[in-house]
Each structure stands twice: as structure tokens, then as C-alpha cells.
Structure 1
Amino acid sequence: MDEATVQLLCPECTKDWQVSPGALPDAAEMYHCPNCHASRHTSEFMRTDRDLRALKQLG
């Protein structure tokens, strides 16, 4: 079975990537872009509402 992933998009440098929801902090916690190191709430990196729902359910 494939592991679920969420799509992320950095609001500052526009880097996009995928990661397992379990590898991310909670939606309201701070997360750092691996490319430009921008710091924002994890929820702000979610590309779509579906990704945010998956983070909240599976994270």
C-alpha cells in the first residue's frame, strides 16, 4: 500500500514538494521551508484544502 503524502508549497520561494503528513508538525506549529528556511505555520505550506485536511487527519 502506498503511503499518503501531502503537497506543500512555500509561500515565499514557491518551492513545491510532497511529504508524509506524519513527518510534519501539527497545522498550528511552526514549519521551515527546506529551500529558503521561511518559518510559518505548517498549515500555510499546504497546497490545497485537501492537503490540509489530510495533515489534520493523518498527521
Structure 2
Amino acid sequence: MSTPWIDLECPSCREQWEDDPADLPAPGNEFTCEHCDDERPVSEFVKTPEGLEIHENFHA
């Protein structure tokens, strides 16, 4: 089974990238953009509802 990748976008600098849900903090935890150092809940970086669902299911 392949690991899904999640599309992310920083709300501050608008940089976009993909990441493995295993490399992201659990839902509700803070995440820091590696491009501009903005820190917010990880859910604010996930671009799509599908990505958010994948992330939440991965950490369940």
C-alpha cells in the first residue's frame, strides 16, 4: 500500500508543496512553514477537505 501525499499551502507566503502525513504533526498541533516560519495549526496548511480527511485518518 502506498502512502498518500497531502497538498499543503502556507496561508502567509502561499508557498505550495506536498508532504507525507507521517511527517506532519497530529491534527490540532502547531506546524511551522519551512519557507517563511509562520506557525499555525496544521489544518490551516492542508489545501483540500480530502487532504484533511487523509491527515486525520492517518493520525487516528
- Band the TM-score falls in, shorter-chain normalisation: over 0.9
Gapped regions of structure 1 (runs ≥ 5): none
The residue number in structure 2 matching 1:31 is 31
Gapped regions of structure 2 (runs ≥ 5): none
Say which SS state the counterpart of residue 22 (structure 1) adopts: helix
| Identity score, percent | 29
CA distance in 2, matches of 1:2, 1:35: 27
The residue number in structure 1 matching 2:43 is 43
- Structure 1 runs of 4+ aligned residues shifted over 6 Å read none
Alignment RMSD: 1.0
User: With structure 1 as the length reference, what TM-score do the two structures score?
Assistant: 0.93
Matches within 5 A, 1:1-59: 1-59=1-59
1:9: Cα distance to partner? 0.3
What whole-Å deviation, never above 9, does each CA across 1:1-59 have from its counterpart, x for those lacking one?
A: 53210000000000000011011001200000010010000000000110100000113
What amino acid is aligned across from residue 44 of structure 1 in structure 2?
E
User: With structure 2 as the length reference, what TM-score do the two structures score?
Assistant: 0.91
